[in-house]
Amino acid sequence: MITILSGGTGTPKLIQGIKEIIDESNLNIIVNTLENDYFSGVYVTPDIDTVLYTLSDLINLETWYGIKDDTFITHEKLKELGCPELLRIGDKDRALKIQKTILLKNYPLSQVVDIQRKQMDIKARIIPMSNQQSTIKIMTPKGEMSFHQFLIKEQGKVPVDDVVYNEVEPAPDMLNIIENSETVVIGPSNPITSIGPIISIKGVEKALKKVHVVGVSPIIGNSPVSGPAAKFMQACGHEVSALGVCDMYSKFLDRFIIDSVDSDLETKIEKLIKDVTITNTKMRNIGDKVMLARTVLGEIV
């Protein structure tokens, strides 16, 4: 079994490549839940939904959230009624979020996601990192704000002083799944708000130390390919580079994959971990994704 730790943009791109080269039923995907919250009365699990839609080929590839070719009738009507939404939720996407909200009355999140992925005929297991609700605060000179307030309302433009979130329990069986994996892949996702929350859960670091772990840098040169990772890393005292990311994961990382433009960092990274691979990590098309997936799983497939 291969286990992937995922956020909502970079890692799902890699998952598209991985599912082309191995049987999906051999995959466990542990997904960040830090950004889960209620919007317009429905429970939104941004990274889980992106992974669900990626594996069912429904994902809107332009935005990396929501369903392709969706309509926005409810969203527009809400605006007209004087209830504008912070998130732009499509109609089909909203139906799945409503289903999740209804199911959550009777089942924990891990079971709700399992019901949905089976309905979508997804063979990979999708495991929310926790069944508990996280709270995240982005500390800024304008005061503390929620993740979505920072990213959408403020468009990620305000400076960030710190990122703070609470401790949550691991999802049932999650530590077992990690310990029994042939390889754990830490995908190229935000190290502070996507991967950090998973590895900070009690027991995860210890479990990762027992297995072969390969990571892919989400930072190319001195910036992320997308999203607010640079601001968050800086605020939390990390260098914004592949070296900075490697330093965060070095306690349990066996191999790190960095981009060709960062080849000058090889010697420094080799001081932290024994195995560094240099290749193209920018996934512009399915060819790039499959090529990177082959590099990540090179020893297995």
Binding site for ligand GDP (CB under 6 A): 7-10, 13, 188-190, 193-194, 216-218, 220, 224-229, 281-283
User: Per 3-state DSSP, what percentage of the chain is helix, strand, and coil (rounded to 5)?
Assistant: 40, 20, 40
* CA 164 from centroid of its chain's CA atoms: 17
Least spacing, CB of residue 73 vs ligand GDP, in Å: 27
Of 145 and 229, nearer to ligand GDP (C-beta) is 229
Of 15 and 109, nearer to ligand GDP (C-beta) is 15
Of 178 and 283, nearer to ligand GDP (C-beta) is 283
Least spacing, CB of residue 102 vs ligand GDP, in Å: 26
Least spacing, CB of residue 20 vs ligand GDP, in Å: 16
Of 128 and 218, nearer to ligand GDP (C-beta) is 218
Of 176 and 223, nearer to ligand GDP (C-beta) is 223
Least spacing, CB of residue 282 vs ligand GDP, in Å: 5
- Rounded CA separation 213/178 (Å): 10
β-pairing, 42-44 with 37-39?
Answer: antiparallel
Burial of 274 (0-12, 13-18, 19+ CB in 10 A): exposed
Of 2 and 48, nearer to ligand GDP (C-beta) is 48
Least spacing, CB of residue 125 vs ligand GDP, in Å: 19
- Rounded CA separation 76/97 (Å): 17
121: tokens are 């005929």
Region at 56 (left for phi over 0; alpha for psi -120 to 50; beta for the rest): alpha
Long-range contacts, stretch 61-66, CB < 8 angstroms, 24+ apart: 64/8, 64/9, 64/12, 64/226, 65/8, 66/90, 66/93
> Contact, 131 vs 169, CB < 8 A?
yes
Least spacing, CB of residue 289 vs ligand GDP, in Å: 8
